[in-house]
Chains A and B, each alone.
Chain A
């Protein structure tokens, strides 16, 4: 039997074809990178309990008006100053919390006319329906950075590491829970609890 040689297929253009496909996928790919600010909404509460009285000095009122102007405690403020103002307010520690403990880790000015204790300090945000979502996020972001700044400071002091790194480690080990770490994170969260209330925007007539 004579051996017939099969003519070999020329694979020279294989690279071209593959390149074509590669470029198509390169162009259509969007590597997803969704990140954002996580928030919990308050559940709907139908019970008719009158909310407890909160002293005005424990409230940090932020208002955004329809022109996206920012008012903090009734005064105009630039967005860049908001973080520091919030830190000053939260970290004030002028008096005691509900259990009568004074804030021994606060480094604020202990001004009697500002917040008593981080436990009691509440940030309220009121915005106009016509203000922009961008401004709202900017404010949320500044407030969050104020909280993170304080929490990070305490994490450095107590556990000698950054708060961010603790959260990251928790995220990494989500399948084998590290009780100690969770406890530490909770401690820090309790030192500066995130108390942010949003009031209903006024209805536009």
Chain B
């Protein structure tokens, strides 16, 4: 009556892996929700300077302006001088002001006076470029700026 013979040849019962997909899906959803896909591709080198006296940036009211030397693949075309990037393109200095104004106009009304301009400027860029950008921002009346930096340890 082998039909009713119990298997008793030892060995641990296999751990059920039926819930493994559930666990993995859980992780998956977490990362899917937490992921922010970059909305701009960098055209300039962007090694941020280190700093420790930093504050958090409020994302909902921040416009980013990038500056730095053109990245490796654009060097041939645009040279090595520092360039300004807004959204997905290089811009000249005189285009900064309209871009900032447009961004402010598209913000919800209650955030408009609190707009912050995040300057992501490469460490090795000449300070003159930053100065020029700041002058343009003053003209556009966007006076709150943030130099985005690499946060070091606070107690350094």
A binding-site residues for B, Cβ under 8 Å? 11, 14-15, 18-19, 21-22, 25-26, 28-44, 64, 127-138, 140-141, 144-145, 148, 171, 200-201, 204
Contact = CB atoms under 8 A, between A and B. Distances in A.
A130 B128 contact: yes
A15 B127 contact: no
Given A129-B131, A137-B49, A138-B49, A43 B151 contact: no
A132 B52 contact: no
Contact of B123 (A14, A35, A133): A133
Interface string B12-23: 000001101100
A129 B81 CA distance: 13
B31 interface: yes
A29 B128 contact: no
Please name the 9 residue pairs, one residue from A and one from B, whose CB atoms are nearest each other, closest first: A129-B128, A134-B123, A25-B31, A36-B148, A35-B54, A18-B24, A137-B49, A144-B53, A14-B21
Contacts of B144: 38-41
Contacts of A18: 21, 24-25, 28
Given A39-B144, A41-B145, A130-B126, 19 more contacts: A15-B21, A18-B28, A21-B28, A26-B31, A29-B35, A34-B57, A34-B148, A36-B146, A37-B146, A39-B146, A42-B143, A131-B127, A133-B125, A133-B130, A136-B130, A137-B49, A138-B51, A201-B128, A204-B128
B27 to A, nearest CB: 6
Contacts, number: 149
B55 A38 contact: yes
B32 A25 contact: yes
B34 interface: yes
B147 A37 contact: yes
B126 A11 contact: no
B36 interface: yes
A144 B54 CA distance: 9
A148 B148 CA distance: 19
Contacts of B20: 15
Contact of B126 (A29, A34, A132): A132
Contact of B134 (A15, A41, A134, A171): A41
